[in-house]
Amino acid sequence: MDVGDELIYRLRDFSPSERVRIVGIDTRKKTPRYEVEFLDGQNQGTVENVPAGRLRGPWGTVREFDEQMAHWERFTQQTMDRYEEDAVERTFMLLVPDSAATLNWNHNVWTTSILDADALGTVIGIPVSELLEGVDWYAEADETVVSPEGTMRIAEYACRGNPMPMLDAVVQEEKEYREYSKRGRPIVTYDNRPSTSSPEREYAHYLEHGRPVHEILRAWCGHRAVTLQERLAAAEAEVRRLDELLARVLDELKVHSHSFVAEVIEREHVEERITPEKFRPVVDRPLKPSEIPVRYERAPRRWGRW
């Protein structure tokens, strides 16, 4: 920006655009300020000293700039609460690749810039064109900027289409919260001294911050996925428990001179273990007549006939 340039002036983000001309530059401070003269409206002829942040670009682009800011003004009316924002951020970090879409924080709202519609469609499970039919968005250069409502919908679809990684992350974080609620967490005090937070404080932090986000993520993943994950985890935990219990029983049998019985049970336990590949039904092709084994049966003797 130089003296004589005509620029877009906005007092605030969503104030009306005004045409100004730079008549001087104040460089006395580290950040320069600009002496501008208003060329239109009720402030015409007025000269003010303004920061650079109020000058939004060349006046020749005011139409495009006003259209863009109108979109952002609508976007700011679609706010999320802090738990939804946290859930959206975690979902994008875990499930949405940066090459497909990026999560942006502008004007105090989360929005999404779609870079590769096909890649994002693969992640969310529906075509991006179908997504855009029900949400607010606008095109900017080579990107499509989606509103906060659309951003949250992208996160929900991503969780619904890829629930297991997200649910595994939630369970892992809940395990950490459980340990913190039992023993506290190492922290650093305000004067840089190592300390440990109390279990009561960690549990209150979980109830206030962790649990609401986890419930949102589970709802986005869907009841079926949550139930499947819980059943699988419970089955694996039960198998481990029974293995440990059987090992204790076998050790007791060996101690009390029943080593042969213990070895037989242990061998059967290992060799006859039910695994996914054994549990899955195997469909074989029908045997050819030449492949069917021949079985000879001795005919019963009929008394009275030779």
pLDDT for the residue numbered 304: 60
CA pair distance 160, 221, nearest whole angstrom: 4
CA pair distance 20, 75, nearest whole angstrom: 27
Domain map of the chain by residue range? 6-61, 73-163, 165-226
The model's pTM is: 0.71
The encoded tokens of residue 257 equal 């001179």
pLDDT (tens place) for every residue of the chain, 306 residues total = 778 888 888 888 888 888 888 888 877 777 888 888 888 877 787 888 888 888 888 888 888 888 888 888 888 888 889 999 999 999 999 999 999 999 999 888 899 999 989 999 999 999 998 999 888 888 877 788 899 999 999 999 999 999 999 999 999 999 898 988 888 888 888 878 888 888 888 899 999 999 999 999 999 998 888 888 788 788 888 888 888 888 888 888 888 878 888 888 888 888 887 777 666 666 778 888 888 888 888 877 776 655
Mark residue 165 as left, alpha or beta (left: phi above 0; alpha: psi -120 to 50; beta: remaining).
alpha
